[in-house]
Copies of this chain bind each other. A is one copy, B any other.
Amino acid sequence: MVETKLAFHTVGVIGRLGSELVVDSVKRLEGHLENLEVEVVVEKATAAMVPRNAFKVLERAEMGKHCDLVVVVGGDGSLLGVARDLVDHGVPLLGINRGGLGYLADIRPEDIEHRVGEVLNGNYYIEQHFLLEVEVFSGDRVIGRSSALNEILVHSGSMSRMMEFALYINDEFVYDLHADGLMISTPTGSTAYALSAGGPIIHPSLDAIVVLPMFPHTLTSRPLVVGGDAEFRIELASTNQRDAAISCDSQVDIPVSSGDFAVVRKKQERLKLIYPMEHSFYDSLRSKLDWASRLGGRK
């Protein structure tokens, strides 16, 4: 092995639990890393799933402090979770895709050695993604707090139940809405759930946030795009269902009640996402949204 200076020295490994394919890829990744001049740190839950003796094992919360790169094996969902957990430490993430289409995690399992090798040799590209943070208040008491890389969703708890809430942006009243929910999405989230919900695609470099009513009663409701510095306050009306909740990336739920309110704003710390080479957003859209397919039947 050539004595090149590697770009990263302590590499963390986190795998999505419960999948044989992930276990295979974690093994392959570990096999690759143990021959390199890097210290490898495996997340405790991942280590339990893929027993190896040689590596240091840490709780996920500790990995942010020890690693200067964390490789996540799973899909975009796994990356969302790790991003929320480690974003405060500023450690960059690299995703091996073992899930669906993989916007965030886009290294294919068969390319592990080649792509991870390139990254460790310093041939990589960092894309910064901002997260949203939400604080939930009951009166002046904070009853919950979380963050999201894709979207924060205030919802009635069940799809077939309506809720009523008021939206304020930077303390300006926007509207009272009857809807199943309200989604606040980052540019990163604009190609995920928000896209299913009828939102526009936002270029990742744009400092903007999208507000999307979900099945609104008001037929004139439309997606709204505002600046990244906006602060959102969503106040639940007093007539709401009892099961309302605030959902972060569809992974963390905070129960809310009538009269509670949530404040959503951009989180200061950014996620640093590593791609093994220059990464074209439009290439990615074309291949992942299948923009080449066309309708027949028209002249």
Interface residues in chain A, defined as those with a beta carbon under 8 Å from any beta carbon in chain B:
75-77, 80, 99-104, 150, 153, 155-162, 169, 172-176, 178-181, 189, 191-193, 195-203, 205-206, 208, 210, 214-227, 230, 245, 247, 249-251, 253, 280-282, 285-286, 288-299
Contact: B296 with A99, CB < 8 Å?
yes
Whole-angstrom CA separation of A222 from B289 in the bound complex:
10
- Closest 7 interchain pairs by CB? A101-B296, A192-B297, A77-B299, A200-B223, A160-B247, A196-B215, A100-B296
Contact: A298 with B250, CB < 8 Å?
yes
Whole-angstrom CA separation of A64 from B270 in the bound complex:
46
Whole-angstrom CA separation of A172 from B203 in the bound complex:
13
Chain B residues near A222 (CB-CB < 8 A): 195, 200-201, 219, 289
Chain B residues near A218 (CB-CB < 8 A): 291-295
21 contacts between A and B (CB under 8 A): A76-B296, A101-B295, A101-B296, A103-B296, A103-B297, A155-B159, A160-B250, A160-B253, A175-B282, A175-B286, A196-B215, A196-B217, A196-B219, A200-B200, A200-B224, A218-B293, A218-B294, A219-B219, A220-B289, A288-B295, A289-B295
Whole-angstrom CA separation of A180 from B183 in the bound complex:
14
Contact: B155 with A157, CB < 8 Å?
no
Q: What is the copy number of this chain in the assembly?
A: 4
Q: Which residue, A191, A251, A298, has most C-beta atoms of chain B within 10 A?
A: A298
Whole-angstrom CA separation of A285 from B222 in the bound complex:
10
Chain B residues near A173 (CB-CB < 8 A): 282
Q: Which residue, A100, A176, A247, has most C-beta atoms of chain B within 10 A?
A: A100
Q: Which residue, A174, A181, A225, has most C-beta atoms of chain B within 10 A?
A: A225
Given contacts A77-B298, A199-B200, A206-B227, contact A220 B293 (CB under 8 A): yes
Contact: A208 with B208, CB < 8 Å?
yes
Residue in chain B with minimal CB distance to A76? B297
Q: Report which of B288, B297, B298 forms a contact with A296, defined as CB distance below 8 A.
A: B288
Chain B residues near A205 (CB-CB < 8 A): 227
Chain B nearest Cβ from A269, distance in angstroms: 21
Chain B residues near A299 (CB-CB < 8 A): 76-77, 80, 162, 249-251
Contact: A100 with B227, CB < 8 Å?
no
- Contacts A218-B295, A288-B295, A290-B290 known; list 19 others, CB within 8 Å: A150-B297, A155-B158, A157-B158, A159-B159, A159-B180, A160-B253, A175-B282, A175-B291, A192-B297, A195-B295, A198-B198, A201-B225, A205-B227, A206-B208, A206-B226, A218-B293, A219-B295, A249-B299, A293-B293
